[in-house]
Structure 1
Amino acid sequence: MAKHDHALLAPGRDGSGRTLHAPSDGRSRARLPHVDDRLAPPETRVEYLDGAELFAAPADPPHAIQHFDLTYVLGAHVAKDYRGAVDMLTRTDEASDYAPDASIFAQKPDRSGRRRLEEMAFEVCDKQSLAVPTSKARRLIERGVRRVFCILVKQRRVLEWSRETDGWRPLPKDAVIEDPCLVRPLPIQALLDATSSDDAVARALLDKRVPALEQAVAEGEARGEARGEARGEARGEARGEARGAALAEVRATQEAITTVLQSRGLAIPAEVARAVAACNDVNKLRRWLKKAVTAATAAAVVAGSRRKR
């Protein structure tokens, strides 16, 4: 892994993976509603913050594009035993129930069998005032969320909430986020640049040791070795590595499509899974990946992929 000047470590990262709770405002945590006890009606765009009703409006580019890039990168970086979510409502207190743009939480249910509070939360901010994400971040931290980030679309900056200052802290663009929720350090640049996103996703999927991806890399290396014996070791290895890299990109994109659909809670029919697995056209897979972010169903992602005769 390339060295970075800044590594942003998780608060309380002592190997235990425990969740740290910020000092509260005097309210008893035992009296708080469960994070899944709804105040806002699910499957609508209504949220509540300190008793005030908010409307989460749909987005235009570049805000909408940033949402996709965030989901794309996070989906690949979620570590084992954790799950990612998009627009998942969280009840922070009696008067607040809203959905961070993306979040990561422990997969194992709590003692009552219900989902656990997220450990990391991300907000994307474009035209709206930073006051709203600020209020949301403060409530999430008070509830017990360990880390909250905000991506400023126009400024192309990433902020992290600071308990010490009770405010946002700008993060250097060459920094990485290290956290037990992540399979590998997440470069800040990967959240801001599409090219860096692809590189970070590929590395994260390799670190996850995805069987199909490892097999593809091994097959590419094997083909390279075989051709090297027939045409010369140097030439064979070069071609084998190139084809292995191309096949690795195909497999990584296939995995990313599945990851995005699963993170959105969409069922993936067998025929869709077969279509994705059988496609070796990386350009087509990239188009499907973009459609996976907003498609109403998994079938809609690959719809129309066959040419009419």
Structure 2
Amino acid sequence: MGESDSKPASGPFRADQLHDGDRYELSNGHPIYCVPAGPERGSRSLTGAAVIASDPDVEWAGVDVGFSVTPETLRAPDVAVAAPTAARGWREGAPPLAVEYAGVGQDEPDLRVKIGELLAGGSSYVWVVRLIGPRRVEVHRPGQPMQVCGSGDDLTAPGILRNPIPVDALYDRAAADRAVLRNLLQRAGYDGLEAVRAEGRDEGRDEGRVEGRGEDIAESILALLEDRGLAISAAARQRIAACRDPDQLKTWLLAAARITDPARLFD
């Protein structure tokens, strides 16, 4: 093994020496400055985070959250999915799913090191979303060769995400909105938008049936009063016709069969 292939000596810093807001990650004790995101990376990482965080099986997701993979290594993926926690400070270990957006100015050697540290620390998936060149996502898994998914493909993370994520949804707002809508409907107990529409149609039919029964009962009340020779006022007719409560109408129907004074109908 040549000198250039040897593991660099540990640096002097530890994760517990960094604080929330510090623009540094750590790799084996060595500080790595994190430059602010440009408009494209910032916008698209937010789009992807919305899709991932809304998945029905995701209980916790974060953006730029620090994970202390080891006491000397602190990494902050652009998007991460992990178990929920009430603990303060850096998350310990590595997130099951980590997503990195790689654009202009990306430090490729450090990205390779970061991927290796996350996988070694326990990440099951590391997705690298490439912002230069054709739309593509590099999928890294422990002990497996890298896979590349392009526009039109779906990304899956069994045991972490319930739904597949279209590659385009990590780039494009319209595709992301469709995925988020699907996820939110599933969180609310619906299989999809068509299930909501079907429920609306069913409720409309139920309301129509209730309204139809009310109209039938109202007509029966008026017919019974007329058959018994009991004249009621126009206001009373209007009140009966406007009522949509079947139970109230049934009460008035029973009263119409007993009363002798039409003024007592509503007593």
TM-score band, normalised by the shorter chain?
Answer: 0.5 to 0.7
Aligned equivalent of 2:107, options 119, 129, 143: 129
TM-score (norm 2): 0.60
- Secondary structure of the 1:77 match is coil
Aligned to 2:173: 194
**In 1: Cα distance, 2:67 partner to 2:150 partner:** 29
Contact 1:67–1:101 at 8 Å: present in 2 too?
yes
Q: Deviations over 1:232-261 (max 9, x none)?
A: xxxxxxxxxxxxxxxxxxxxxxxxxxxxxx
Q: Deviations over 1:41-94 (max 9, x none)?
A: 2222121123321221222221111111111111111515x3111111111224
Give the superposition deviation at 1:122: 0.7
The structure, 1 or 2, with the larger RCO (C-alpha pairs under 8 Å, 6+ apart) is 1
Aligned to 1:205: 184
**In 1: Cα distance, 2:130 partner to 2:82 partner:** 23
Q: Deviations over 1:84-142 (max 9, x none)?
A: 111111112243212111111122679xxx86742111111101132222211100111
Q: Structure 1 residues 51 and 131 mapped into 2: Cα distance closer, same or farther (>3 Å)? A: same
**In 1: Cα distance, 2:119 partner to 2:62 partner:** 18
Contact 1:39–1:91 at 8 Å: present in 2 too?
no
**In 2: Cα distance, 1:181 partner to 1:103 partner:** 11
Contact 2:60–2:81 at 8 Å: present in 1 too?
yes
How many residues matched? Answer: 188
**Which amino acid is 1:46 matched to?**
Y
Contact 2:69–2:117 at 8 Å: present in 1 too?
yes
TM-score (norm 1): 0.52
**Which amino acid is 2:183 matched to?**
A
Aligned to 1:146: 124
**In 2: Cα distance, 1:170 partner to 1:191 partner:** 14
Q: Structure 1 residues 154 and 216 mapped into 2: Cα distance closer, same or farther (>3 Å)? A: same
**Which amino acid is 2:137 matched to?**
V
Contact 1:150–1:159 at 8 Å: present in 2 too?
yes
Give the superposition deviation at 1:217: 5.4
Contact 2:98–2:127 at 8 Å: present in 1 too?
yes
* Runs ≥4 residues deviating over 4 A: 114-117, 213-220, 222-229
- Secondary structure of the 2:22 match is coil
Contact 1:91–1:97 at 8 Å: present in 2 too?
yes
Matched, 1:158 2:137: yes
Aligned to 2:36: 58
Aligned to 2:97: 120
Identity score, percent: 22
Give the superposition deviation at 1:163: 3.2
Aligned to 1:98: 75
